[in-house]
Amino acid sequence: MVPPAVAVLAAVATWLTIIAIGCADENSSWVGDFVAPNPYQNFCEQLVVPNGYDCAEHTIQTEDGYILALQRVASRYNHIRDASSHPILLQHGLFMGGDAWFLNVASQSLGFILADHGFDVWVGNVRGTRWSKGHISLSVRDKEFWDWSWEELALYDLAEMLRYINLVAGTKVFLVGHSQGTIMSLAALSYSHISSMVEAAALLCPISHLGHVSAPLVLRMVGMHLDQIVVAMGIHQLNFRSDVGVRLLDMICDGHIECDDLLTSLTGKNCCFNNSRVDFYLDYEPHPSSSKNLRHLFQMIRKGTFSKYDYGYLKNMKVYGKPKPPAFDLSLIPDSIPLWMAYGGQDSLADLTDFKLTLDELSSEPELLYLENYGHVDFIAGTDAKEDVYNRMIEFFASSRRSASA
């Protein structure tokens, strides 16, 4: 009888061979472009303007050369050029783009709801997503284009988004993050040159520690060391919309875990997910990310730390001057920045034990909203999220602004 570990390695080897063959072809679907419902229309034209809202496309360049798209959205009752309300930046999570805030009907989507409440809404899209595939010298087919993790997304992408909005609006910015967007936010806010541009922050499913993740599919991939294998094979872009990406997921699930409900296997049980719009969601999600980013996240799961990328002893000594990567110090987030955090009892990614570690490391006490029946995706795609979550978030920002102007 073949030992289970040997069987797993054999399966991994077989499928990685398929991946490697696909990557050897420069036209491979693994590195192929994300095809939107209408590739000739931009973000605003596809998702915002058809709902009757003003929307403008903006382009920014990060310090390390990536070209990112930002969208600015105003209420259907308030032309964007006349918007004098407070700027708010929405930062999406892993394998998502800024479209994630607009995929429900207008009355249920946070991006539209904030605009209708008079906020000057800005939508971030990190490098590698369909909306932000540019670079001053690199192509998405270059491995160097994908040499980044959430660390760069925090310290370069998010930092430049805030700087640009601060410059255009002439005031500090409200920040909203979900999932990986909260990892980016917490890391970035621990740096004074970034936190100085933020007036208050609301974090949905906050993450700085991942040591107690319980999502079956995630644990399966971590146990297989999938992140290390794909990096070793020279795979730099992770695109789960490709044929090879789908086959890889099939291999991970086959005979080991129940993946019929892929969303539950990845995030935990979601109480209020709008199943009627799944086909529309899948027109846009998931977006690509980098293999290095996945590996950094898996390092967090294995080590239980909130640290910079671990290159191994020798390169750590070269990059950091020490054998282990330095941790992000959450106590450096200024007490002057009000924090609001919403988390759910069914979330298998933002686990309650890990969340308590985050709270212990902060120097201030954030306002908290706990929803026992909410899972990871309910906070951005739940049918009842407006009443359960968004109205309370809006009151938090209103209160923060009143306190700042008092």
> Of these residues, 92, 135, 287, 376, which one is catalytic?
376
Segment 91-102, tens digit of pLDDT: 999 999 999 999
Report the DSSP beta bridge partners of residue 369. 342
Report the DSSP beta bridge partners of residue 178. 204
CA of residue 225 relative to chain centroid, distance:
22
Helix (H) or strand (E) holding 341: strand 339-344
Residue 47 domain-assigned (yes or no): yes
Angle formed by the axes of helices 4-24 and 243-253, nearest 10°: 180
pLDDT confidence tier of residue 18, bands split at 50, 70 and 90: very low
Calpha distance 15→12 (Å, rounded): 5
Residue 288 domain-assigned (yes or no): yes
Domain count for the chain: 1
Residue 107 domain-assigned (yes or no): yes
Residue 320 domain-assigned (yes or no): yes
Range 356-364 average pLDDT: 97
Catalytic, 376? Answer yes
Containing domain of residue 183, as a range?
38-405
pLDDT beyond 70 at 80: no
Q: What is the pLDDT of residue 40?
A: 73
| CA atoms within a 13 Å half-sphere pointing along the CA-CB vector of 324 | 8
Q: What is the CATH number of the domain that holds 74?
A: 3.40.50.1820
Residue 331 domain-assigned (yes or no): yes
pLDDT beyond 80 at 2: no
pLDDT beyond 60 at 6: no
Residue 349 domain-assigned (yes or no): yes
- Report which of residues 229 and 393 the model is more confident about: 393
The label of the residue with tokens 């783009």 reads 97
Catalytic, 347? Answer yes
Segment 264-287, tens digit of pLDDT: 888 989 999 888 888 888 889 889
Going by C-alpha positions, the residue among 270, 274, 256, 273 that lies closest to residue 218 is 256
Helix (H) or strand (E) holding 8: helix 4-24
The label of the residue with tokens 């063959």 reads 21
pLDDT beyond 50 at 224: yes
- Degrees (nearest 5) of the Cα angle 80, 82, 86? 80
Task: Give just the sign of the alpha carbon dihedral 344, 346, 349, 353.
Answer: positive
Catalytic, 179? Answer yes
pTM of this prediction exceeds 0.95: no
- Degrees (nearest 5) of the Cα angle 106, 108, 111? 65
Residue 390 domain-assigned (yes or no): yes
Q: What is the pLDDT of residue 278?
A: 82
Q: What is the pLDDT of residue 265?
A: 82
Least confident range of 123-127, 170-174, 401-405: 401-405
pLDDT beyond 90 at 395: yes
Residue 11 domain-assigned (yes or no): no
pLDDT confidence tier of residue 13, bands split at 50, 70 and 90: very low
> Of these residues, 54, 99, 347, 354, which one is catalytic?
347
Calpha distance 266→213 (Å, rounded): 10
Range 127-142 average pLDDT: 97
Mean pLDDT of the chain: 87
Do 350 and 377 contact (CB within 8 A), yes or no? no
Calpha distance 155→133 (Å, rounded): 18
> Of these residues, 179, 185, 190, 400, which one is catalytic?
179
